[in-house]
Structure 1
Amino acid sequence: MQLTRFTDLALRIVMRLSVLEEGQSATAAGLAEQLHVRRAHAAKVVTALGRLGVVETRRGRTGGLSLAASARDTSVGWIVRELEGPGEVVECDGAEPCPLRTGCRLRRALREAQEAFYASLDPLTIDDVAAAPTRALLLSIGSGPID
Protein backbone atom coordinates (compact mmCIF):
# COMPACT_ATOMS: atom_id res chain seq x y z
CA MET A 1 0.00 0.00 0.00
CA GLN A 2 1.22 3.49 -0.76
CA LEU A 3 -0.08 6.72 0.71
CA THR A 4 -1.03 9.57 -1.57
CA ARG A 5 1.30 12.58 -1.68
CA PHE A 6 -1.52 14.53 -0.09
CA THR A 7 -1.58 12.31 3.02
CA ASP A 8 2.21 12.18 3.18
CA LEU A 9 2.41 15.97 3.14
CA ALA A 10 -0.37 16.25 5.71
CA LEU A 11 1.56 14.06 8.13
CA ARG A 12 4.74 16.06 7.59
CA ILE A 13 2.88 19.35 8.15
CA VAL A 14 1.28 18.06 11.34
CA MET A 15 4.64 16.82 12.60
CA ARG A 16 6.28 20.17 11.82
CA LEU A 17 3.52 22.11 13.56
CA SER A 18 3.78 19.84 16.61
CA VAL A 19 7.26 21.15 17.45
CA LEU A 20 6.44 24.86 17.32
CA GLU A 21 6.93 26.76 20.55
CA GLU A 22 3.88 27.88 22.52
CA GLY A 23 2.38 30.92 20.80
CA GLN A 24 4.40 30.39 17.62
CA SER A 25 2.59 29.82 14.33
CA ALA A 26 3.42 29.04 10.73
CA THR A 27 1.99 29.82 7.32
CA ALA A 28 1.20 27.47 4.47
CA ALA A 29 3.79 29.28 2.37
CA GLY A 30 6.47 28.90 5.04
CA LEU A 31 5.68 25.22 5.51
CA ALA A 32 5.75 24.68 1.75
CA GLU A 33 9.22 26.20 1.58
CA GLN A 34 10.50 24.17 4.52
CA LEU A 35 9.06 20.92 3.19
CA HIS A 36 10.02 21.61 -0.44
CA VAL A 37 6.52 21.45 -1.91
CA ARG A 38 4.35 23.80 -3.93
CA ARG A 39 2.48 26.45 -1.94
CA ALA A 40 -0.84 25.56 -3.53
CA HIS A 41 -0.44 21.93 -2.51
CA ALA A 42 0.44 22.87 1.07
CA ALA A 43 -2.55 25.23 1.22
CA LYS A 44 -4.95 22.47 0.13
CA VAL A 45 -3.52 20.10 2.72
CA VAL A 46 -3.81 22.72 5.47
CA THR A 47 -7.45 23.31 4.50
CA ALA A 48 -8.19 19.59 4.80
CA LEU A 49 -6.40 19.37 8.16
CA GLY A 50 -8.41 22.35 9.35
CA ARG A 51 -11.67 20.63 8.37
CA LEU A 52 -10.55 17.59 10.39
CA GLY A 53 -9.90 19.80 13.41
CA VAL A 54 -6.20 18.91 13.53
CA VAL A 55 -4.90 22.34 12.50
CA GLU A 56 -6.19 25.71 13.64
CA THR A 57 -6.03 28.62 11.24
CA ARG A 58 -6.19 32.29 12.16
CA ARG A 59 -6.58 35.03 9.58
CA GLY A 60 -5.17 38.49 9.71
CA ARG A 61 -1.97 40.20 10.68
CA THR A 62 -1.35 38.00 13.70
CA GLY A 63 -2.77 34.92 12.00
CA GLY A 64 -1.18 31.68 11.04
CA LEU A 65 -1.37 27.96 11.51
CA SER A 66 -0.89 25.89 14.60
CA LEU A 67 -1.67 22.43 15.81
CA ALA A 68 -5.10 22.28 17.44
CA ALA A 69 -4.93 21.97 21.22
CA SER A 70 -6.37 18.45 21.24
CA ALA A 71 -4.46 17.23 18.17
CA ARG A 72 -1.30 16.01 19.90
CA ASP A 73 -3.12 12.86 21.00
CA THR A 74 -4.79 12.31 17.63
CA SER A 75 -4.19 8.89 16.12
CA VAL A 76 -2.03 8.82 13.01
CA GLY A 77 -4.20 5.93 11.79
CA TRP A 78 -7.31 8.09 12.06
CA ILE A 79 -5.69 10.94 10.12
CA VAL A 80 -4.54 8.57 7.37
CA ARG A 81 -7.98 6.93 7.11
CA GLU A 82 -9.71 10.29 6.90
CA LEU A 83 -7.37 11.63 4.22
CA GLU A 84 -7.06 8.46 2.16
CA GLY A 85 -10.81 7.84 2.14
CA PRO A 86 -12.68 4.57 1.84
CA GLY A 87 -11.03 3.35 -1.37
CA GLU A 88 -9.65 -0.13 -1.80
CA VAL A 89 -6.06 -1.10 -2.59
CA VAL A 90 -7.09 -2.29 -6.05
CA GLU A 91 -10.00 -1.17 -8.20
CA CYS A 92 -12.07 -4.21 -9.09
CA ASP A 93 -15.30 -2.48 -10.18
CA GLY A 94 -13.96 0.41 -12.26
CA ALA A 95 -14.61 1.36 -15.87
CA GLU A 96 -13.20 -2.03 -16.93
CA PRO A 97 -14.31 -4.38 -14.13
CA CYS A 98 -12.09 -7.32 -13.29
CA PRO A 99 -13.60 -10.58 -14.56
CA LEU A 100 -12.59 -12.28 -11.29
CA ARG A 101 -14.41 -9.84 -9.00
CA THR A 102 -17.36 -12.10 -8.16
CA GLY A 103 -15.25 -14.91 -6.76
CA CYS A 104 -11.84 -13.44 -6.07
CA ARG A 105 -10.18 -14.20 -2.74
CA LEU A 106 -7.39 -11.69 -3.34
CA ARG A 107 -9.70 -8.67 -2.98
CA ARG A 108 -10.67 -9.68 0.56
CA ALA A 109 -7.04 -10.39 1.50
CA LEU A 110 -5.98 -6.98 0.23
CA ARG A 111 -8.80 -5.30 2.16
CA GLU A 112 -7.68 -7.09 5.33
CA ALA A 113 -4.06 -6.09 4.69
CA GLN A 114 -5.13 -2.48 4.23
CA GLU A 115 -6.99 -2.53 7.54
CA ALA A 116 -3.97 -4.11 9.24
CA PHE A 117 -1.86 -1.25 7.87
CA TYR A 118 -4.22 1.33 9.34
CA ALA A 119 -4.50 -0.61 12.60
CA SER A 120 -0.72 -0.53 12.99
CA LEU A 121 -0.89 3.28 12.83
CA ASP A 122 -3.82 3.61 15.24
CA PRO A 123 -1.80 3.52 18.49
CA LEU A 124 0.62 6.18 17.23
CA THR A 125 -0.17 9.79 18.04
CA ILE A 126 1.20 12.96 16.51
CA ASP A 127 3.39 13.40 19.58
CA ASP A 128 4.73 9.86 19.14
CA VAL A 129 5.87 10.39 15.55
CA ALA A 130 7.36 13.79 16.32
CA ALA A 131 9.40 12.61 19.32
CA ALA A 132 13.20 12.30 19.35
CA PRO A 133 15.14 11.78 17.16
CA THR A 134 12.57 13.08 14.64
CA ARG A 135 11.98 16.17 16.78
CA ALA A 136 15.53 17.43 16.18
CA LEU A 137 15.09 16.99 12.44
CA LEU A 138 11.77 18.82 12.50
CA LEU A 139 13.33 21.69 14.42
CA SER A 140 16.29 21.85 12.03
CA ILE A 141 14.06 22.32 8.99
CA GLY A 142 12.37 25.02 10.99
CA SER A 143 15.40 27.22 10.87
CA GLY A 144 14.01 28.65 7.63
CA PRO A 145 10.99 30.95 7.41
CA ILE A 146 7.69 29.85 8.90
CA ASP A 147 5.79 33.00 8.09
Structure 2
Amino acid sequence: MQLKKYTDYALRVLIFTGMKKDGELASIKEISETYHISQHHLGKIVYQLNKLELLETIRGRNGGIRLAKPANEINVGLVVRVLENDFHLLECFDKGTDHCVISPACTLKHVLNKALNAFFKVLEEYTLKDLIRNEEELLELMGMEK
Protein backbone atom coordinates (compact mmCIF):
# COMPACT_ATOMS: atom_id res chain seq x y z
CA MET A 1 0.00 0.00 0.00
CA GLN A 2 1.36 3.39 -0.91
CA LEU A 3 -0.05 6.79 -0.05
CA LYS A 4 0.11 9.68 -2.47
CA LYS A 5 2.77 12.33 -1.93
CA TYR A 6 -0.09 14.76 -1.40
CA THR A 7 -1.21 12.84 1.70
CA ASP A 8 2.38 12.50 2.91
CA TYR A 9 2.91 16.25 2.56
CA ALA A 10 -0.41 17.02 4.25
CA LEU A 11 0.60 14.91 7.24
CA ARG A 12 3.95 16.70 7.34
CA VAL A 13 2.18 20.08 7.35
CA LEU A 14 0.02 18.93 10.25
CA ILE A 15 3.07 17.63 12.14
CA PHE A 16 4.91 20.92 11.56
CA THR A 17 2.01 23.10 12.67
CA GLY A 18 1.25 20.72 15.53
CA MET A 19 4.63 21.45 17.08
CA LYS A 20 4.01 25.19 17.24
CA LYS A 21 3.18 26.44 20.72
CA ASP A 22 0.53 28.77 22.11
CA GLY A 23 -1.13 29.67 18.83
CA GLU A 24 2.20 30.47 17.16
CA LEU A 25 1.80 30.66 13.40
CA ALA A 26 3.72 28.73 10.78
CA SER A 27 4.20 29.86 7.20
CA ILE A 28 4.08 27.93 3.97
CA LYS A 29 7.53 29.31 3.19
CA GLU A 30 8.91 27.97 6.47
CA ILE A 31 7.37 24.53 5.86
CA SER A 32 8.61 24.54 2.26
CA GLU A 33 12.17 25.29 3.32
CA THR A 34 12.11 22.69 6.08
CA TYR A 35 10.77 19.81 3.98
CA HIS A 36 12.07 20.98 0.56
CA ILE A 37 8.57 20.94 -0.93
CA SER A 38 7.29 23.47 -3.46
CA GLN A 39 5.43 26.40 -1.87
CA HIS A 40 2.87 26.20 -4.66
CA HIS A 41 2.14 22.55 -3.89
CA LEU A 42 1.97 23.28 -0.16
CA GLY A 43 -0.46 26.11 -0.85
CA LYS A 44 -2.92 23.64 -2.38
CA ILE A 45 -2.50 21.29 0.56
CA VAL A 46 -2.98 24.05 3.13
CA TYR A 47 -6.07 25.20 1.26
CA GLN A 48 -7.62 21.74 1.49
CA LEU A 49 -6.62 21.25 5.14
CA ASN A 50 -8.28 24.59 5.86
CA LYS A 51 -11.45 23.49 4.05
CA LEU A 52 -11.40 20.30 6.15
CA GLU A 53 -11.18 22.53 9.25
CA LEU A 54 -7.86 21.00 10.29
CA LEU A 55 -5.89 24.20 9.74
CA GLU A 56 -6.77 27.80 10.37
CA THR A 57 -5.33 30.35 7.97
CA ILE A 58 -4.69 33.93 9.01
CA ARG A 59 -4.28 36.47 6.23
CA GLY A 60 -2.15 39.56 6.24
CA ARG A 61 1.36 40.67 6.90
CA ASN A 62 1.64 38.78 10.18
CA GLY A 63 -0.50 35.92 8.97
CA GLY A 64 0.19 32.24 8.70
CA ILE A 65 -1.32 28.91 9.56
CA ARG A 66 -1.99 26.92 12.70
CA LEU A 67 -4.00 23.93 13.76
CA ALA A 68 -7.72 24.60 13.87
CA LYS A 69 -8.18 22.12 16.73
CA PRO A 70 -5.95 20.44 19.31
CA ALA A 71 -3.54 17.81 18.00
CA ASN A 72 -5.21 15.12 20.08
CA GLU A 73 -8.47 15.71 18.17
CA ILE A 74 -6.96 15.16 14.71
CA ASN A 75 -7.26 11.47 13.84
CA VAL A 76 -4.58 10.22 11.44
CA GLY A 77 -6.80 7.53 9.93
CA LEU A 78 -9.58 9.97 9.16
CA VAL A 79 -7.13 12.41 7.56
CA VAL A 80 -5.74 9.67 5.32
CA ARG A 81 -9.23 8.43 4.38
CA VAL A 82 -10.29 11.92 3.31
CA LEU A 83 -7.12 12.73 1.37
CA GLU A 84 -6.77 9.36 -0.34
CA ASN A 85 -9.76 9.12 -2.63
CA ASP A 86 -8.78 5.94 -4.48
CA PHE A 87 -8.28 2.70 -2.61
CA HIS A 88 -8.97 0.42 -5.55
CA LEU A 89 -6.12 -1.97 -4.87
CA LEU A 90 -7.16 -4.19 -7.76
CA GLU A 91 -9.37 -3.78 -10.79
CA CYS A 92 -12.17 -5.68 -9.03
CA PHE A 93 -12.36 -2.99 -6.32
CA ASP A 94 -13.73 -0.61 -8.95
CA LYS A 95 -17.10 -1.99 -10.06
CA GLY A 96 -17.11 0.11 -13.23
CA THR A 97 -13.89 -1.32 -14.68
CA ASP A 98 -13.87 -4.91 -13.44
CA HIS A 99 -13.09 -7.07 -16.45
CA CYS A 100 -11.56 -9.99 -14.56
CA VAL A 101 -13.21 -13.28 -15.50
CA ILE A 102 -12.68 -14.86 -12.06
CA SER A 103 -13.96 -11.87 -10.11
CA PRO A 104 -17.30 -13.45 -9.09
CA ALA A 105 -15.52 -16.40 -7.43
CA CYS A 106 -12.21 -14.78 -6.43
CA THR A 107 -11.44 -14.41 -2.75
CA LEU A 108 -8.35 -12.22 -3.27
CA LYS A 109 -10.44 -9.05 -3.28
CA HIS A 110 -11.93 -10.05 0.09
CA VAL A 111 -8.49 -10.73 1.55
CA LEU A 112 -7.17 -7.38 0.32
CA ASN A 113 -10.29 -5.57 1.53
CA LYS A 114 -9.75 -7.10 4.98
CA ALA A 115 -6.11 -5.96 4.88
CA LEU A 116 -7.18 -2.44 3.85
CA ASN A 117 -9.65 -2.28 6.73
CA ALA A 118 -6.92 -3.43 9.13
CA PHE A 119 -4.63 -0.71 7.75
CA PHE A 120 -7.21 1.97 8.55
CA LYS A 121 -8.03 0.44 11.93
CA VAL A 122 -4.39 0.89 12.95
CA LEU A 123 -4.20 4.47 11.58
CA GLU A 124 -7.40 5.39 13.40
CA GLU A 125 -5.75 4.45 16.71
CA TYR A 126 -3.45 7.47 16.37
CA THR A 127 -3.87 11.21 16.57
CA LEU A 128 -1.58 13.99 15.44
CA LYS A 129 -0.45 14.31 19.05
CA ASP A 130 0.88 10.74 18.88
CA LEU A 131 2.94 11.69 15.81
CA ILE A 132 4.70 14.55 17.61
CA ARG A 133 5.49 12.89 20.94
CA ASN A 134 9.21 12.95 20.06
CA GLU A 135 9.05 16.70 19.52
CA GLU A 136 12.60 17.53 20.57
CA GLU A 137 14.08 15.04 18.11
CA LEU A 138 11.78 16.25 15.32
CA LEU A 139 12.68 19.89 15.96
CA GLU A 140 16.37 19.07 15.89
CA LEU A 141 16.04 17.17 12.60
CA MET A 142 14.13 20.12 11.12
CA GLY A 143 16.84 22.54 12.26
CA MET A 144 14.49 24.36 14.61
CA GLU A 145 14.86 25.39 18.21
CA LYS A 146 12.43 24.52 20.96
Give unmatched runs, 5+ long, in structure 2.
Answer: none
CA contact (8 A) 1:27 1:65 kept: yes
1:60-84: CA deviation from partner (whole Å, max 9, x where unpaired): 1121110113443211111111111
Quick one: structure 1 residues 97 and 39, their matched pair in 2 at CA, closer, same or farther if it must change by over 3 Å?
farther
CA contact (8 A) 2:7 2:83 kept: yes
Name the CA distance, whole Å, in 1 between partners of 2:71 and 2:19: 12
Give unmatched runs, 5+ long, in structure 1.
Answer: none
**One-letter amino acid of the counterpart of residue 8, structure 1:** D
1:50 aligns with 2:50: yes
**One-letter amino acid of the counterpart of residue 28, structure 1:** I
TM-score, normalised relative to structure 2: 0.86
Where 1:56 maps in the other structure, the secondary structure is strand
- Which residue in the other structure is 1:108 paired with? 110
Name the CA distance, whole Å, in 2 between partners of 1:37 and 1:109: 36
TM-superposed CA distance for 1:95, in Å, is 5.3
CA contact (8 A) 1:24 1:66 kept: yes
TM-superposed CA distance for 1:39, in Å, is 1.5
1:137 aligns with 2:137: yes
- Which residue in the other structure is 1:23 paired with? 23
Quick one: structure 1 residues 45 and 105, their matched pair in 2 at CA, closer, same or farther if it must change by over 3 Å?
same
Which one of 98, 101, 104 corresponds to residue 99 of structure 1? 101
- 63-72 or 9-18, which moves further after superposition? 63-72
Count of equivalent residues = 142
Name the CA distance, whole Å, in 2 between partners of 1:104 and 1:71: 42
- Which residue in the other structure is 1:127 paired with? 129
Quick one: structure 1 residues 43 and 91, their matched pair in 2 at CA, closer, same or farther if it must change by over 3 Å?
farther
TM-superposed CA distance for 1:99, in Å, is 2.8
TM-score, normalised relative to structure 1: 0.85
CA contact (8 A) 2:28 2:39 kept: yes
**One-letter amino acid of the counterpart of residue 100, structure 2:** C
Structure with bigger RCO (C-alpha 8 Å, 6+ apart): 1
